[in-house]
Chain A
Amino acid sequence: MMSAPAGSRRATHSTATVLLLLPGLFVLAGMFIVPVAQLIIDSFSDSAGAWIHYRRIAVVPVYLLVLARTLLVSAVTAALCLLLGFPVAYRLAHASPTGKSIILLCIFLSFWTNLLVRAFSWMVLLNPNGIFNQALGLIGLGDSVKLVYNTTGVLIGQTQILLPYMILPLAAVMSRVDPTLMNAARSLGASPTRAFLAVYIPLVKSGAMAGLVLVFTLSLGSFVIPALLGGPRDMFLAQLIEFNINNTLNLSFASALSTVLLAATLILYWIGNRWFQLGQVWGGR
């Protein structure tokens, strides 16, 4: 068989690359970029003036309050995911192949379960007659602790739903840490704790940041969990957007709120990418 000259093979290669990317590019442009652009344009097209909706968001306290609450609850969610996800990611990254499959299976089992099913399950578990409050009742705390229809409920639900987005990038970075580095640190006089703090933590910091940014930005757009597990005061920005679409039918104001959410997400991603090279974590190497 004749082999093609290197030059023409390279040309075939790049043509193939373009052709393979084309369908995805069309879907992305047609179903994402165009609608988002339309949404941003809509948010500025009001007869009363281009910035009227943004001025309203800035002036009326409730909007900024909801935005602040969304940011705060999302930040706490991200922190909780890091706290709970770190040990799991560590186990996952340094487990035997069998251990790895078991941990991954546990993560994906909950991951594959429908979001609504999980939200309703939490409602059953966390309600005042649920198993947690009954258990707390045994030690005399049953009535004093409310676990659902408040911020606690939102945090529990959000953390459980978003935990895999912390564990997986963190474990990916952890599994790339050369285990002899820890031995080297020990041989140089570091106790296991100091070796962990001085060598391991700095090396997995980028994975933790990737997880934090991912969980935080995903949480910003949450709707189902705050709607089902939160109280009236735990409204997220997404609920406010939905309210403006379905109840007040103020579509261009809803667009403005969406644009604010989008901008917040992009700014956070930009910060994460600039300071912690998230691209390297996503890209694998």
Chain B
Amino acid sequence: MPRGAAIEIQGLTKRYGDVMAIDAVSLTVAEGEFVTLLGLSGSGKSTTLMAVAGFVDPDGGSIAISGSDVTALPPEKRNLGVVFQNYALFPHLNVFDNIAFPLRMRRHAESEIETQVRRVLDLVSLRDLSARRITELSGGQQQRVALARALVFSPPVLLMDEPLGALDRQLREQLQIEIRRIHRQLGVTVLYVTHDQEEALSMSDRIAIMADGRIQQLGTPHEVYMQPSNRFVAGFFGESNFLDVAVERAGDNPVLRPKGLRDITLHAALRRPLSGDRFLAMVRPEAIEIGDSRDPAFENNLPGTVEQQDFLGATQRLTVKTGAGPVAVRMSRLANAAALPAGAPVWLKWRAGETAVFDAQD
């Protein structure tokens, strides 16, 4: 079984005119790891991926695969599987010949090609379509063919540039599951680019959130979701509550005091040092529970009054007015919201581990 290769990107820089497309990006992807570059368009995620693939010639920095420097190698010598955003299937070839293309370029014997193409067609569940024309395939099927073509020559690394961007939501979720299965099955290293945060969270071992050509944070899905290192990263993954705080005691378990509240302290679990003079504490709406009094079982307790209720289908949102500003709370649809009419006094409570704190300037 082919094993994945490590990717080491160091100080990678690319400038287009006055614009820094990527600015000193460094990232190490371990063998067999699934790492996602997540960001908006123009964040530099695709440029980084295309530099690894060999289509973007960097102005500075280096790229190594399996420890050997490939920065100066042309794409065809890098032996990487690439799945392009629009699939880039060859319209003049049928499914079989598209998938056989990399093997033919490597001058494999026809019998070997037959075996390998059948193997990957099985892998992507397209066994019966090998004679089809590309134009006769649905979007999802084209995606599978592109994936099969990128995997048929057993590359140690698979690069995917928004591979599911053109598909509808249901198909996207189905293919996410399938790509993860294939990743596990083959042990190939995957560097994946997307702008869809849910896709990144559900598929990745680690996520690198990119903005302005830089990696804003690199961490596991849990880390980047629950301990974002700045406001941009926090805002990227759905709704969050930001509270202006002063740091009363720094260290591993800092004590924070919300602006405008004398007798309340908040607690966070922090994995990195704090610097700066204005801080924000962040807590996700679904991490907050509601009670009718201070609860010593929780490190954080904040009093407030219910302002508004919104029914959102699977969940309901409660907006609570507190001395530190409005706080959104997500509750299950099954929670008894009727007991919490507007104006009702409540206590908000959450764990220290659910509180992130970062410099407000970042």
Task: Give the B interface residue count (CB, 8 A).
Answer: 27
Closest residue of B by beta carbon distance from A205: B92
- Residues from chain A with Cβ under 8 Å of B92 in the complex: 199, 202-203
Query: A39 an interface residue at 8 Å Cβ cutoff?
Result: no
Whole-angstrom distance between the Cβ of B192 and the nearest chain A Cβ:
15
The answer to whether A186 and B90 touch across the interface, beta carbons within 8 angstroms, is no
Closest residue of B by beta carbon distance from A184: B88
Which one of A30-38, A165-173, A175-183, A224-232 is at the B interface?
A175-183
Which one of B71-79, B124-132, B226-234, B305-313 is at the A interface?
B71-79
Query: Which of A189, A195, A202 has the most B CB atoms < 10 Å from its CB?
Result: A189
The answer to whether B105 and A178 touch across the interface, beta carbons within 8 angstroms, is no
Query: B39 an interface residue at 8 Å Cβ cutoff?
Result: no
- Residues from chain A with Cβ under 8 Å of B58 in the complex: none
- Please report the C-alpha to C-alpha distance between residue A208 and residue B81 in the assembled complex, in whole angstroms: 32
The answer to whether A183 and B101 touch across the interface, beta carbons within 8 angstroms, is no
Return the contact of B105 from the options A180, A194, A202 (Cβ within 8 A).
A194
Query: A191 an interface residue at 8 Å Cβ cutoff?
Result: yes
Return the contact of B82 from the options A184, A195, A199 (Cβ within 8 A).
A184
Query: A109 an interface residue at 8 Å Cβ cutoff?
Result: no
* Inter-chain contact total with CB atoms closer than 8 Å: 68
The answer to whether B102 and A189 touch across the interface, beta carbons within 8 angstroms, is yes
Whole-angstrom distance between the Cβ of B171 and the nearest chain A Cβ:
21
- Residues from chain B with Cβ under 8 Å of A191 in the complex: 74, 76
Closest residue of A by beta carbon distance from B50: A183
Return the contact of A190 from the options B76, B80, B85 (Cβ within 8 A).
B76
Whole-angstrom distance between the Cβ of A84 and the nearest chain B Cβ:
25
Extra A-B contacts (8), CB below 8 Å, given A180-B85, A183-B75: A183-B53, A184-B82, A184-B89, A186-B74, A189-B105, A189-B106, A195-B76, A203-B92
> What are 11 residue pairs bridging A and B, where the CB atoms are less than 8 Å apart in the complex?
A184-B88, A185-B90, A187-B76, A188-B82, A188-B101, A188-B102, A188-B105, A188-B150, A189-B76, A191-B74, A202-B92
A residues near B, CB below 8 A?
178, 180-181, 183-192, 194-195, 198-199, 202-203
B residues near A, CB below 8 A?
53-55, 74-76, 78-82, 84-86, 88-92, 101-102, 104-106, 149-150, 153
Sorted from nearest, which 10 A-B pairs have the closest CB atoms? A184-B88, A188-B102, A189-B105, A187-B82, A186-B75, A180-B88, A202-B92, A190-B105, A186-B76, A189-B102
